[in-house]
Amino acid sequence: MKTTRSVLADQAADFPRWFQDVIAKAELADNGPVRGTMVVRPYGYGIWELLQEAMNRRIKATGAANAYFPLLIPESYLQREAEHVEGFSPELAVVTHAGGKQLEEPAVVRPTSETVIGEYMAKWVQSYRDLPLLLNQWANAVRWELRPRLFLRTTEFLWQEGHTAHASAEDARAYVTRILYDVYRAVMVDILAIPVVAGRKTRRERFAGAINTMTLEAMTGDGKALQMGTSHELGQNFARAFDIGYLSRDGQRELAWTTSWGSTTRMVGGLIMVHGDQDGLRVPPAVAPVQVVVLAVKDETVEAARRIAADLESAGLRVTVDDRTDQPFGRRAVNWELKGVPIRIELGPRDLAGDSATVVRRLRGSAKAAVGLAELTSTVAAAIEDDQANLLAEAAARQAARITTVRTVEEAVEAAAAGWASLPYDAVGEEGEDRLAEAGMTVRCLQRQDGSLPIGDNEPDLTAYVARSY
């Protein structure tokens, strides 16, 4: 049986084409009817749902509550924060006609919701007792992409966006930092098994209208960087533009300090790019819609396959039975490999006669082993737990091996052609960022030497991570 090399582009030779092939062959998504849009297929949406559930639990644990705000935003709202509208202007989709008439005021299709949420925060916040106001919404957003790519940069995407208002800069900073680590990093590491580097964006890379953007950067299989989630301190910029104020304990009128933070379906793209191999997708068990597939090889093993599946489901695993015995077994097995299902149990007449089954571990190079039926459930449950941890360790080792420490911008340009470079940011500066841009590279983030987050733009002795990116 094997291999799937004939249906996927060579990962080492053409990583972008391989990425597209995996999305198609694993039945994750398809191109939508309007350029840049995406149809997420059931298997891909199943991954997103599990991600969403994991993220939502952690967001609520920070005290935020879910709400929903309109898709259409008055154009005037965006114009009230100059830097914000300038940053998003090239990406905006604007509705000018509706109901057969020209609108009195154009409406922008939501690119992000700082403006509309700011309008309602100003209405809802009156006193220090109303703070902090912690909101989150699960929605879609539209940003008109010139070079769309499924799960990475699509004109319309799914996401969560959080927006909060606080009585002090310190409280706002503490909260967005908590979101970065306790929500985003926790999901990426513990659920997606993706190691990420946390840091502060440089001035030129920060979110439009923010005073600080914190980011989590992952390394893809071809050594590039992928921004997986961001958390922004907005200072008082939006509070000033939308008059988000409150009466303090002293009875004085004060402006609030606001934040925003978001993560998108790009996380699914990250999963593909970090864990996928030449045989297709490899899905971490924590977000696998199907953790175990039981393949009945022949008609006479179908009932036994269903009994095995029932036992595994009773142990809390997500299981499906493939009883399509009218289709070639080899083709079915390859299709499940392409989908990256962590465990495949093959049950043929000989297996059944020997009171055993063949267990294939996709995340362990499709290693096979015969396992007695009496031990099958416990063996598979242990393998699932082991595979989740192993996938993270494998990705972390690959990331560490492909980060090169250098001292100059020119050395960084050379090193980042095949991975990431790290160097003192004092050796980069804004002129160095111009040189990196010429080479198609950026400073992905800044860290203190101990790995912690810088608080200000001008801290000395910071480490810059440089890479090409998606």
Residues 113, 117, 120, CA angle at the centre, nearest 5°? 160
Bridge partners (DSSP) listed for residue 164: 134, 259
Distance in angstroms (rounded) separating the CA atoms of residues 84 and 232? 13
Distance in angstroms (rounded) separating the CA atoms of residues 264 and 97? 29
CA separation (Å) from 200 to 203, 215, 313, 417, 447? 9, 6, 43, 22, 7
Q: What's CA 48's distance to the chain center, in Å?
A: 9
Per-residue confidence (pLDDT) for residue 372, from 0 to 100:
97
pLDDT digit string (tens) for 233-260? 999 999 999 999 999 999 999 999 999 9
Closest by CA to 230, choosing from 266, 255, 254, is 266
Per-residue model confidence as pLDDT tens for the chain (470 residues): 444 446 999 999 999 999 999 999 999 999 999 999 999 999 999 999 999 999 999 999 999 999 999 999 999 998 888 777 787 888 999 999 999 999 999 999 999 999 999 999 999 999 999 999 999 999 999 999 889 999 999 999 999 999 999 999 999 999 999 999 999 999 999 999 999 999 999 999 999 889 999 999 999 999 999 999 999 999 999 999 999 999 999 999 999 999 999 999 999 999 999 999 999 999 999 999 999 999 999 999 999 999 999 999 999 999 999 999 999 999 999 999 999 999 999 999 999 999 999 999 999 988 999 999 999 999 999 999 999 999 999 999 999 999 999 999 999 999 999 999 999 999 998 899 999 999 999 999 999 999 999 998 889 999 999 999 99
Preceding amide of 454 cis, omega within 30: no
Q: Which amino acid is at 188?
A: M
Per-residue confidence (pLDDT) for residue 457, from 0 to 100:
84
Kindly write down the DSSP assignment for every residue of 198-248, as one continuous string.
Answer: EEEPPGGGSPTT-SEEEEEEEE-TTS-EEEEEEEEE-TTHHHHHHT-EEE-
Token reading at 391 = 């996938």
Q: Name, in order, each residue with C-beta under 8 angstroms of 137's C-beta and a sequence gap of 6 or more.
A: 66, 67, 68, 69, 113, 160, 161
Half-sphere exposure of 350 (CA within 13 A, CB side): 3
β pairing state of 197-200 and 292-296? unpaired
Calculate helix-pair angle for 266-275, 376-401, nearest 10 degrees: 90
Distance in angstroms (rounded) separating the CA atoms of residues 437 and 335? 41
Q: Are 102 and 96 in contact (CB under 8 A)?
A: yes
Per-residue confidence (pLDDT) for residue 6, from 0 to 100:
67
Q: Name, in order, each residue with C-beta under 8 angstroms of 199's C-beta and a sequence gap of 6 or more.
A: 214, 215, 217, 444, 445, 446, 447, 453, 454, 465
Distance in angstroms (rounded) separating the CA atoms of residues 319 and 331? 19
Per-residue confidence (pLDDT) for residue 470, from 0 to 100:
94
Q: What's CA 281's distance to the chain center, in Å?
A: 16
Residue 365 burial (CB count, 10 A): 10
Distance in angstroms (rounded) separating the CA atoms of residues 434 and 326? 60
